[in-house]
Amino acid sequence: MKEEFDITARALFDSLLEKSYEREETEDTNIGAYYEPPLDGLDTSNLPLLEEEDRDIVMHRDAHFGKSFKLMLEHYEDEGIAAVLDVDPSRIEFLMDLEEKLGSNLAPYLLQGADAEKVAQSIRLYKALREQKTPLVSAISELILSEEEPEVAASKAALHGPKLVEYLMQLLQTPTFYDPLFPGYGQAPMRACLALGMMKAKEAIKLMFGLIGCENFDTESAAVQALSLIGEPTKTFIISQLQSRPITKNNERAAIVASALEQDDELIEALIRELEDPTIQKIESLATYLVLACSYVPEKFRERFKQLLPKMPESVRHEMTTILKTS
Of 99, 126, 153, the one marking the end of a domain is 126
Tell whether 316 is covered by a domain: yes
Indicate the burial class of 95 (C-beta count within 10 angstroms; 0-12, 13-18, 19 or more). buried
Residue 235 lies in a domain: yes
Taking residues 147-153, what's their average pLDDT? Answer: 96
* pLDDT for the residue numbered 51: 85
Residue 45 lies in a domain: no
**Residue 75: which domain range?**
11-36+53-126
pLDDT (0 to 100) of residue 50: 81
The pLDDT tens digits of the residues spanning 235-282 come to 999 999 999 999 999 999 999 999 999 999 999 999 999 999 999 999
Out of 110, 126, 142, a domain closes at 126
pLDDT at residue number 27: 47
Q: Which tops the pLDDT comparison, 3 or 45?
A: 45
Give percent of the chain above pLDDT 90.
77
Q: 178 in a domain, yes or no? A: no
Give CA–CA dist 324/70, Å, rounded: 56
Assigned domain for 22 exists: yes
Look at residue 220 and tell me if it is in a domain: no
Angle formed by the axes of helices 150-158 and 188-198, to 10°? Answer: 50
Query: How many CB atoms lie under 10 A from the CB of residue 56?
Result: 18
At 54 the pLDDT is: 96
Confidence of residue 133 (pLDDT cuts 50, 70, 90): confident
**pLDDT tens-digit map of 301-324:** 999 999 999 999 999 999 999 999
Given this model, what pLDDT does residue 47 score?
64
Q: Which of 126, 143, 162 finishes a domain?
A: 126
Check pLDDT > 80 for residue 233.
Answer: yes
Q: Is the peptide bond before 313 cis (omega within 30 degrees of 0)?
A: no
CA 192 to chain centre: 9
- Is the residue at 101 inside a domain? yes
Rounded-to-integer distance, Cα 171 and Cα 173, Å: 5
pLDDT at site 6: 47
Give me the long-range contacts of 145-150 (CB less than 8 A, separation at least 24).
Answer: 145/183, 145/184, 146/191, 147/80, 147/81, 147/82, 148/81, 149/81, 150/187, 150/190, 150/191, 150/194, 150/222
The pLDDT tens digits for 70-122 are: 999 999 999 999 999 999 999 999 999 999 988 889 999 899 899 999 999 99
Query: Does 108 or 8 have the greater pLDDT score?
Result: 108
User: Number of folded domains in the chain?
Assistant: 2
pLDDT at 64: 98
117 within domain boundaries: yes
Q: What is the pLDDT of residue 112?
A: 87
pLDDT digits (tens, 9 = 90+) for 17-62: 666 655 554 444 455 445 555 455 555 556 676 888 999 999 999 9
Average pLDDT of the chain to the nearest whole number: 89
